[in-house]
């Protein structure tokens, strides 16, 4: 699906759903800029827009169309025989709102940002793209005055959308922290390690993103006008905080792992304590019982009048003493 | 609440609680400088001072008003159509004196530092702001001669106030160190990990702060006069020492974790030792008792005159030997 | 074996399997470039091509012929008395498709890349070399227009061939992850550590490779024409993703190690639980049985009419209570 | 206490214990240089020398007088209204020879190094200062020719004095290494962790020191004449070796910790082995004894003539077999 | 012992064992260069050659004569009043072929490399020095044409000699890897940790060496002629590979430590399994035996005709069931 918009430099919508043969004319008009959004386009559509209309460099087109490329930003300036206008090519990964099977899915958003055009390309519908579109159409005066402003709004939206993913992780970690102390089980270990992997994965997604945004924040690109650089720095700061939060989660999970492993070995310790306790407490009866079960002819105690009662008393008293002793030592 | 002061460049108080319509006049007077302190201002107050009076850049205003921004310093120089004077925008986190539920709370202090004005913005009353104000009013000659001097005093106070937080942590760690050796319990592990997280949190707060102050210490900003740079370097050194102390705490806590885990596994070892000991010591009686409890017709020992006494002697002697043997091996 | 090709700068094949005495003539023709591929050449062949024909610097020849040199790239510019043309010498390690005994084998590919020649040297037949050759001969127009293009195709192929090795590792790790949860055994630990070593080995192979390619991606070498640099950057990105995947594997394996060690200590915990359980459950019968096995003359219970039934009832009830108690505590 | 010396640039002692009113005159003489050593001076003495005589910058005076500042070096050049001559301010930590309660004490040595003066300030008497003084007075010709030479001698002495502290640690680690293998006890763990903390502390002391000396070794300061830089580099090398030795100790202690933890868990393993062994070895007797202790009317074995002897033989033989089996398996 | 050689710049031996009074004359001849090798010289010899003949800077002489200095390279250029010619001073550590008591011994080799002289100083006879000498005398034409060439040959030899040390370590690690799986014992842990320490030690030796050689490889020194730099880079590459191999060993040993610790805890697990098994298998007999050992008057089973046989059957059947159950669960 192709959505296209032409805005005047005053931020007003000039036209919408532009027919492709009209685009070159609009591009030539210096009072306008064009935003073409390709959402899961057919191969022909992609080829037409990216190659035949804008003549983008084949490498950036390849990176754009191909699924699993890493976040990057590259500046393309035309050589003598190139037909494209100078542009920035950028790949950014948006995180999907809800995880399936505990795995974050990411979708790529590819930007081609020129002086008077912005081409965005994505396979899945993206929350951030949709929201930006709506904002551009509603309050056109403020946002849609230049491609670098629209790009900023898109990036801001993408970074914002990382937060629900973090919140979900925070929730799961919180639950685990409670469960581990209550009843540690090997399943919990699996979960801790799985979430840790998930957080590491998230940090790995964010890492190259940060590098890309850092270059924007440093004002490295001429196509981003200087007075917009602080806005990009703001987006960078947002991502930095997210990455710091993720770092916190890693620390929490490492702590949790320690707690779990200790709870688990502690449980075994408690079982051994129980075994030892039962052995100790039954010792007096066992010893007395075994002893007076002997069949010696000449065992005077057996004939004593109160022999049995005495044996019983010995057993009861020593069991009570052992009981009291370990009670005092806080074994149970 | 808005507090405002105008000082002469000789450090004397010119006026206090200035009415807002007078501020522009005072700002225009090159012999004066203005300190406006916004403590939990209403949205209107904030808007009036930051936007309408000083015309600060919208991004810095947003960062200022918004709660959870990270420590930063940014230099704003006016472009042709900007109405503000060049200024430094800085966010610093002060740590609150007492922790609630074992968690350090931090409050932000936002600075707008210009050639002849200082605007501070904070949501909660801050010890450092109050102290600086008092010092400025008391001994005006020394401190309140320029905005960069007042800013230094504020920063110095904020860094000083980290120390009580560290001392409290030191106390808790010291207590834990004693407790762990005496009676390790899983609750202690939780506490160790919680404090470790707290220290890591503190280091995470300090980290970006240090970066901000390092830029001051390097004399990067023109708005800080060169002869004040050593003072800022001093504040930086203070923060450096605090961060080093926090690092020491982390090391102590890692050591403590090792001690705890070993004490805990040692405890289990001791319980197993006890189980083994009781088993070994009761073995002679159990064996003799079981053996002579057999009902064979023809067991000569049973009919011996001193059979019972002999059995008793065997049991006593071998039990004593076992006892002595493990006593010698220092099992108990 | 020596394979040699001369291509025109239009990418057309000029001649093949060129006799060595003709090579100097072809090298002198500026409309041609030469690709000489040495596959396991004899010492004489190598000496003739590398030393007598191209007069390469003795150090690069030594590095080329010698087996275990590390990946590198070096620029050689002729000094006054040197007879060679400026060239890049590069050593790249290709990974072999299938591992023998769980160990990745790598083969070296040595490049001598000049303005109008490419000499490749390898001991074993290489998938990437063969594929490049075929592509050059088939669709000559596109690929074989210059030595730096051919070199790019070769490098791209080598990086591509890392992927099957990674996939095989992923498979093994997946299998281990399932097995460890089902039935941990010390053999599994050995396997985890062996694969971890393998992944570390792979990362160690990739590491210097990345450094070499990064220099190409940065456009450091004059012999690579600027408009080809993005292609080399693309190869670099591919290698970067591979190295990131390898990092993920390391993390997975560390997690797996934790799971294994816990499963293993958990197993022991379960055995101890069983021991404690059997001891506890048999305690009532053992105690009652031992007690009434005593031979005291005067034991009234023995003479009670329902004494035996009572004993039996006590044993059954208390065993059932213990059973129920531990059932409730989810011990089994 | 104030000690003061004036040396000629030929290294000869000009005067000693100079009265303070004479100092300005001597400072003005370009053929002389002054060394003033303040050892635990009174506040007045410090104020007089540092502030009134030399007019040092207030920040460096504060750093000097204050106790817990970190090692640093700072260059002070006079501004228009400053009265001091350019000087280097340096704080170095000397380690005390003998540890009290296993904790290294450090004393600060503060230097003010000018073109023709050296002011040293320390709270405790320092071995290095005393030795340098003696060398200056004895063989004046060689050492005391310029302040930068005297400063070098002082620094060299301080670095030398780290070595006995290291030797003491080496001794303690050596003792621990022997003890841990012989008889591991939880007290040992505490000691290992304590010494490790101590070594980390030492490295933390050395760290900033190295940075300070590295700046000297790099010849960064104009007040150190170029031909003395190699001597400072030598001091830096000495400190580098010390810090490397400390790193070795950390590694040794980590290894020791592993050995201790293993010895400790091994001990528990041995106890469990003993328990299992005693259970196994007593099993035959217990089983036979329990079995023939039954009171069935009709148990033919009980009436056999050699029944008892047979039972005895069974018990002896099977016990011997078990004994032999575990002996063979090297259990004891 | 002093060995001295004079070579012509064509690499021919001019004279050998030169008398010291002749050396200045030879040094003055620009067609010659001098190699003086001091092997364990007397203090007088060292003093004469280093100080009186070559007038080397006292610091480099001190570093040379003193035993435990760290690897370094320093450039000395004469100041106005210095009498020495510009030279490079270098300390390199050679590793001794065979370890004594499992500890690598290193010997220092000190170089003074000038435009037309090379002075080497070492306390012990060095394999590399001897080999270089032989090569210089045999095939003089190739090697001994300039001091920087001879120095390269010496360095190359030293780096080569690290390899046997590595091979020996590899052998020991291989043996350990086999032993640990077969029969883990605490002695093995000691050995693992000792070898790990040894490898760390080796890496610590190599570390500063690499830095020294990196400076040669970067062509930093004017006394090394540019066309020799690639040869020095080659030596650097060799050392780099050695250091990488040492890194691999560290990883192997960490893996081994994990295996050992697991094998050891696994052994305890097996012992506990055995204890539990014997307890479970003897339970039926013990329970039945204890039960029918009771002396109740009224126990009908005792009087049953086949009571004893029934008891026997119960015991046998339940024991067999338990046996089969645990056999099935693969406990033994």
Q: What gap in Å lies between CA A229 and CA A221, rounded to an integer? A: 9
Residue D189 pLDDT class (50, 70, 90 cuts): confident
Q: CB neighbours of E302 closer than 8 A, spacing ≥ 6?
A: D295, D296, D297, E292
Q: Under 8 Å CB-to-CB from D25, ≥6 apart: which residues?
A: none
- Look at E59 and D241 and tell me if their CB atoms are within 8 Å: no
Q: For B31-85, how does the pLDDT look when each residue is reduced to its tens digit (9 = 90+)?
A: 888 999 999 999 888 888 888 889 998 888 888 888 766 788 888 888 777 788 8
DSSP string covering D17-43, please?
Answer: S--GGGHHHHHH-TTEEEEEEEES--H
- Residue B110 sits at φ, ψ, to 5 deg, of -100, 135
pLDDT at residue number E102: 61
Residue C265 has pLDDT above 90, yes or no: no
Mean pLDDT of the residues in chain B: 86
Cα–Cα distance measured from residue B118 to residue B146, given in angstroms and rounded to the nearest whole number: 9
pLDDT at C163: 85
- Cβ distance of D292 and B294 shorter than 8 Å: yes
Sign of CA dihedral D44, D50, D54, D60: negative
User: Quick one: tokens of A300?
Assistant: 């005077």
- For residues C288 and A129, what is the distance between their CA atoms, to the nearest angstrom? 79
- What does the pLDDT look like over D85-107, one tens digit per residue? 899 999 998 887 555 566 677 88
- D204-221: per-residue pLDDT in tens? 888 888 888 988 888 888
Cβ contact E266–C186 (<8 Å): yes
Give the closest residue to C131 by CA, choosing from C106, C160, C93, C95.
C160
**Sole residue written with tokens 């031979």:** C295
Q: Which has more pLDDT, B119 or A186?
A: B119
With a cut of 90, say whether residue B315 has pLDDT above it: yes
Looking at the complex, does the CB of residue E77 fall below 8 Å from at least one CB of chain D? no
If you count them, how many residues does chain D have?
332
In this predicted structure, the answer to whether residue C141 has a pLDDT above a threshold of 70 is: no
As a whole number of angstroms, the longest Cα–Cα distance in chain A is 124
In chain E, % of residues over pLDDT 70: 96
Is the CB of residue E194 less than 8 Å from the CB of residue E102?
A: yes
State the maximum Cα–Cα separation within chain D, in Å, rounded to a whole number: 124
> Which chain A residues in 160-219 lie under 8 Å from chain C, judged by CB atoms?
186, 189-190, 193, 196-197, 200-201, 204
Of residues B70, B79, B193, nearest to A259 (C-beta): B193
What's the token pair of residue C136?
């050059």
Q: Is A39 helix (H, G, I), strand (E, B) or coil?
A: strand
What is the per-residue pLDDT across E126-178, written as a single tens digit (0 to 9) for each?
888 888 888 888 765 567 788 888 899 999 999 988 888 888 888 888 888 88
Q: How far apart are CA C178 and CA C124, in angstroms?
A: 37
* Number of neighbours of residue C122 by Cβ within 10 angstroms: 21
Size of interface A-C (CB pairs under 8 A): 111
* Residue D315 pLDDT greater than 90, yes or no: yes
pLDDT at C102: 61
Q: Which of residues 234 through 253 in chain C touch A, CB cutoff 8 A?
A: 234, 237, 240-241, 244, 247-248, 251-252
Contacts of E293 (CB under 8 A, 6+ apart): A293, B293, C289, C290, C293, D290, D293, D294, D295
Q: What is the largest CA-CA distance in chain C?
A: 124
Whether D200 and B251 have beta carbons less than 8 Å apart is answered as: yes
B289 Cβ contact list (under 8 Å, min separation 6): A287, A290, A291, A293, A294
In 3D space, the residue among E238, E26, E4 whose CA is nearest the CA of residue E121 turns out to be E4
pLDDT category at C100 given cuts 50, 70, 90 is low
Cβ-Cβ contacts under 8 Å between B and D: the total is 111
Distance CA E41, CA E264 (A): 53
- CB-CB contact of E155 with E235 (8 Å): yes
DSSP designation for E76? E
E strand or H helix that includes residue B261: helix B229-291
Q: Is B110 exposed, middle or buried (0-12, 13-18, 19+ CB in 10 A)?
A: buried
The per-residue pLDDT for A142 is 62
Q: Is the pLDDT of residue B284 over 90?
A: yes
Q: Give the DSSP per-residue string, B93-114.
A: EEEPSS-BTTB--EEEEEEEEE
Between CA A144 and CA A235 the distance in angstroms is: 18
Q: What is the rounded CA–CA span in Å between residue B284 and residue B290? A: 10
**A188 burial type by CB count under 10 A (0-12 exposed, 13-18 middle, 19+ buried):** buried
* List of chain A residues whose C-beta atoms are within 8 Å of the C-beta of residue C255: 193, 196-197
Residues contacting B174, CB < 8 A, separation 6+? none
Q: How high is the pLDDT of residue D146?
A: 86
For D185, the closest chain B residue by CA position comes to: B266
Task: Specify which residues C100 forms β-bridges with.
Answer: C103
Q: Which of A191-200, B132-141, B317-326, D39-48 has the highest mean pLDDT?
A: B317-326
Measured on CA atoms in the order B9, B11, B12, B14, is the torsion positive or negative?
A: positive
pLDDT of residue B171: 87
Q: Is the pLDDT of residue E221 over 80?
A: yes
Longest Cα separation, chain E = 124
Decide if B186 and A255 are in contact by the 8 Å CB cutoff: no
Q: Cα separation of E279 and E290, whole Å?
A: 15
Q: How far apart are CA B272 and CA C275, in angstroms?
A: 13
Instruction: Using CB atoms, pick whichever of A72, A193, A204 lies closest to residue C255.
Output: A193
Give the torsion through C-alpha atoms of C314, C317, C320, C321, to 10 deg: -100
> What average pLDDT does this structure show over D25-31?
86
Q: CB–CB of E34/E5 below 8 Å?
A: yes
C-alpha closest to that of D10 among D108, D140, D127: D140
pLDDT band at residue E292 under the 50/70/90 scheme: very high
Please report how the helices D229-291 and B229-291 are oriented relative to each other, as an axis angle in degrees rounded to 10.
Answer: 20
Residue D277 to residue B286: CA distance in whole angstroms: 16
ipTM over 0.90? The verdict is: no
Chain E CB contacts of C56 under 8 Å are none
* Residues belonging to chain B: 332
pLDDT in tens, C9-38: 887 888 888 888 888 888 888 888 899 999
Tens of pLDDT, residues B79-112: 777 788 899 999 998 887 555 566 677 888 999 9
User: pLDDT (tens digit, 9 = 90+) per residue, B138-166?
Assistant: 765 567 788 888 999 999 999 988 888 88
Residue ranges of chain A with pLDDT lower than 50? none
Q: Which residue of E has its CA nearest to C271?
A: E273
A278 vs C276: CB contact, 8 Å cut-off? yes
pLDDT confidence of D281, banded at 50, 70, 90?
A: very high
- Mean pLDDT, residues D70-77: 84
The mean pLDDT value for B208-219 works out to 87
Tokens 């009919």: give the residue: B303
What one-character-per-residue DSSP string does E201-247 give? HHHHHHHHHHHHHHHHHTT--TTS-GGGHHHHHHHHHHHHHHHHHHH
Which subunits sit against C, judged by 3+ Cβ pairs under 8 A? A, E
For residue D292, the surrounding DSSP H or E stretch is: none
Q: What are B55's two structure tokens?
A: 């015309």
Q: Token pair of A97, please?
A: 């709102």
- Give the whole-angstrom CA distance, residue D216 versus residue D207: 15
Distances (CA, A) of A299 to A293, A303, A310, B302, C298: 11, 7, 15, 10, 14
Task: List pLDDT tens digits, range A226-250.
Answer: 888 888 988 898 898 888 888 888 8
pLDDT of D139 over the 70 cut: no
Residue-wise pLDDT for D223-257, tens only, equals 888 888 888 988 898 898 888 888 888 888 888 88
Cα–Cα dist E82/D319, whole Å:
90
Partner residue facing C244 (CB), from A204, A261, A274: A204
Alpha carbon distances (Å) from D13 to C235, D10, D137, D147, D157: 72, 9, 7, 13, 21
Torsion of Cα atoms, E122 then E123 then E129 then E131, to 10°: 180
CA distance D156 to chain B (A): 26
Write the pLDDT tens digit of every residue in C272-294. 999 999 999 999 999 999 999 99
Residues 6+ apart with CB under 8 A from D141: D10, D11, D12
Mean pLDDT of E293-311: 90
E290/D contact by beta carbon, under 8 A? yes
Query: Is there a contact between A107 and A81 (Cβ–Cβ < 8 Å)?
Result: no
Q: Give the percent of chain D with pLDDT over 90.
A: 22
Name chain E contacts of C302, Cβ cutoff 8 Å: 295-297
């Amino acid at each position: 699906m192709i959505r296209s918009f032409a805005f005047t430099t005053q931020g007003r919508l000039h036209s919408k759903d532009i027919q492709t043969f009209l685009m070159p004319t609009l591009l030539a008009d210096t009072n306008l800029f064009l935003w073409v959004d390709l959402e899961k386009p057919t191969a022909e559509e992609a080829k037409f827009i990216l190659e035949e209309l804008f003549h983008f460099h084949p490498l950036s087109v390849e990176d754009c169309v191909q699924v699993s490329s890493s976040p990057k930003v590259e500046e393309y300036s035309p050589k003598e025989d190139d037909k494209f206008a100078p542009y920035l090519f950028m790949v950014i990964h948006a995180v999907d709102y809800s995880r399936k099977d505990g795995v974050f899915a990411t979708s790529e958003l590819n930007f081609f940002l020129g002086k008077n055009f912005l081409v965005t390309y994505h396979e899945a519908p993206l929350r951030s793209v949709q929201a930006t579109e709506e904002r551009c159409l509603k309050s056109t005066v403020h946002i849609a005055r230049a491609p670098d402003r629209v790009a900023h709004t898109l990036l801001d939206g993408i970074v914002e959308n990382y937060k629900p993913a973090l919140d979900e992780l925070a929730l799961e970690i919180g639950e685990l922290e409670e469960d581990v102390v209550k009843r540690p089980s090997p399943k919990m270990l699996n979960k801790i390690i799985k979430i840790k992997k998930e957080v590491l994965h998230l940090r790995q997604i964010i890492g190259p993103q940060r590098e890309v945004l850092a270059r924007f924040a440093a004002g490295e690109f001429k196509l981003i006008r200087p007075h917009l650089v602080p806005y990009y720095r703001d987006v960078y700061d947002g991502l930095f905080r997210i990455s710091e939060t993720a770092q916190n989660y890693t620390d929490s999970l490492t702590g949790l792992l320690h707690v779990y492993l200790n709870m688990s070995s502690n449980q075994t310790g408690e079982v051994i304590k129980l075994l030892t306790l039962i052995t100790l407490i039954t010792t007096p009866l066992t010893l007395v019982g075994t002893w007076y079960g002997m069949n010696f002819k000449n065992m005077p105690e057996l004939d004593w009048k109160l022999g049995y009662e005495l044996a019983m008393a010995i057993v009861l008293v020593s069991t009570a003493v052992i009981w009291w002793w370990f009670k005092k030592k806080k074994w149970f």
